[in-house]
Amino acid sequence: MDTSGDNDSNSGEDQTSLFNENISDDLLEFATVKDPTSLTFSISGEDHTLGNALRYVITLNPEVEYCGYSIPHPSEDKLNIRIQTTGMINDE
């Protein structure tokens, strides 16, 4: 998702509205938390294949302290991924 051109026009909006504009609510949900350095995303229709790949790529960023995923239940078609950062990630 490339939002580099939208930085000036959306400077007053929070990140939640940016995600909701670009991704269907049926595909991706994320919990609202008080700590912006730690978020949990829930992706529908995905399994360990995407979870393991995302976890690996996200942990390559040195500012990521923790990234893990889980499948809540084998009969549930959902992937939960949690990302925790140092809070020092720049918007480049």
What is the 3-class SS of the chain, one letter each residue? CCCHHHCCCCCCCCHHHHHHHHCCCCCEEECCCCCCCEEEEEEECCCHHHHHHHHHHHCCCCCEEEEEEECCCCCCCEEEEEEEECCCCCCC
Instruction: Judge whether 3 lies within some domain.
Output: no
- Any idea what the CATH number is for the domain that residue 22 is in? 3.30.1360.10
pLDDT digits (tens, 9 = 90+) for 39-51: 898 999 999 999 9
Could you tell me the residue range of the domain that residue 61 belongs to?
15-85
Predicted local confidence at residue 89, as pLDDT: 67
pLDDT digits (tens, 9 = 90+) for 53-78: 999 999 999 999 999 999 999 888 89
Instruction: Judge whether 44 lies within some domain.
Output: yes
Instruction: Judge whether 62 lies within some domain.
Output: yes
Entry pTM? 0.64
Instruction: Judge whether 81 lies within some domain.
Output: yes
Predicted local confidence at residue 14, as pLDDT: 52
Count of structural domains, the chain = 1
